[in-house]
């Protein structure tokens, strides 16, 4: 049954801060283009495929299911991950940066031994993504353990059903204006704008 209250297509979510608020770690220009052009492109891409599917079903027309679903996975993955990324960032000193406290601090210490060790492993995961992709901190539903996921593109190496607590976009489109090709410098800057309150919230929801 279709839930009439749910939108049938994706929409670009507004950022929970202004474009200039993540400076100096992400410039206004970089953030604006990333959100308005790149993220929007995944929203548009996913919606175009959904409309194509709707039409083909209505017309009883054949389509190339394999390539359509591959393209859909790329676009939905891009849309969902960007939405998570924006909300796990916050302006430095105003919710962003510092060390995790509460639930995420405890869980990170338990799994990794220390925040420094976690930071090192996550940084290495982000810096070494082959091509374009993401680093993600996830929680396994079966064991409750925190596990780092190194996503290639938007959809490869994903552990099915693991709750994503924090993501870092390391597509070059995330940092080329500010850092040129220096991904490591961008990853280093990321730690100043991590929204630990949001990560705590996601973890607490996952632990319910
Ligand atoms: Fe991106």
- Give me the average pLDDT of each 10-residue run along the chain (208 residues): 76 98 98 98 98 97 97 98 98 97 96 98 98 98 97 96 97 98 98 98 96
Cα 32 to middle of ligand 1, angstroms: 11
User: What is the 8-class DSSP label of residue 143?
Assistant: T
Q: Measured in angstroms, how far is the CA atom of residue 56 from the centroid of ligand 1?
A: 30
Going from the Cα of 170 to the center of ligand 1, the distance in angstroms, rounded, reads 7
Contact by Cβ (8 Å): 193, 89: yes
- Distance (angstroms) between ligand 1 centre and the Cα of 143 equals 30
Tell me, in angstroms, the distance from the centre of ligand 1 to residue 50's CA. Answer: 21
Q: How would you classify the pairing of strands 133-139 and 163-169?
A: antiparallel
Report how far ligand 1's centroid is from the alpha carbon of 164 (Å): 16
Give residue 113's pLDDT: 98
pLDDT number for residue 7: 87
Tell me how far the alpha carbon of residue 174 lies from the centroid of ligand 1, in angstroms.
Answer: 5
78 contacts 154 by C-beta, under 8 angstroms: yes
Query: How far, in Å, from the CA of 34 to the mean position of ligand 1?
Result: 6
Instruction: Report CA(1)–ligand 1 centroid distance (Å).
Output: 33
Ligand 1 centre distance from Cα of residue 58 (Å): 33
Rounded Cα distance, 70 and 155, in Å: 9
Nearest to 35 by CA among 21, 51, 52: 21
pTM for the predicted model, two decimal places: 0.95
Spacing, Cα 186 to ligand 1 middle (Å): 13
On the 0-12 / 13-18 / 19+ scale of CB atoms within 10 A, 143 is exposed
Please give the Cα distance from 198 to 99 (Å, whole number).
13
- Ligand 1 ion: nearby residues, β-carbon < 5 Å: 38, 169, 171, 174
pLDDT at 6: 85
Q: Is the dihedral of CA 133, 135, 137, 139 positive or negative?
A: positive
Please count the CA atoms within 13 angstroms of the CA of 134 that sit on its side-chain side.
26
For ligand 1, the distance from its centroid to the CA atom of residue 196, given in whole angstroms, is 20
């Amino acid at each position: 049954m279709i839930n009439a209250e749910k939108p049938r297509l994706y929409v670009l979510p507004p950022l929970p801060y202004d474009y200039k608020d993540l400076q100096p770690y992400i410039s206004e220009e970089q953030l604006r283009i990333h959100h308005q052009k790149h993220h929007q492109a995944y929203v548009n891409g996913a919606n175009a495929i959904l409309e194509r599917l709707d039409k083909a079903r209505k017309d009883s027309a054949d389509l190339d299911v394999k390539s359509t679903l591959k393209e859909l996975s790329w676009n939905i993955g891009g849309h969902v991950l960007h939405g998570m990324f924006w909300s796990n960032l916050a302006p430095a000193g105003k919710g962003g940066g510092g060390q995790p406290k509460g639930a995420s601090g405890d869980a990170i210490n338990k799994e990794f031994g220390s925040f420094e060790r976690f930071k090192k492993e996550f940084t290495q995961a982000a810096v070494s993504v082959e091509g374009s992709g993401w680093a993600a901190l996830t929680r396994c539903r079966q064991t409750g353990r925190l596990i780092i996921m190194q996503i290639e593109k938007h959809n490869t190496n994903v552990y099915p059903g693991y709750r994503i607590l924090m993501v870092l976009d390391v597509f070059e489109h995330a940092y080329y204006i500010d850092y040129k090709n220096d991904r490591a410098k961008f990853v280093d800057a990321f730690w100043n704008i991590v929204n630990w309150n949001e990560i705590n919230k996601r973890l607490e929801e996952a632990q319910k």
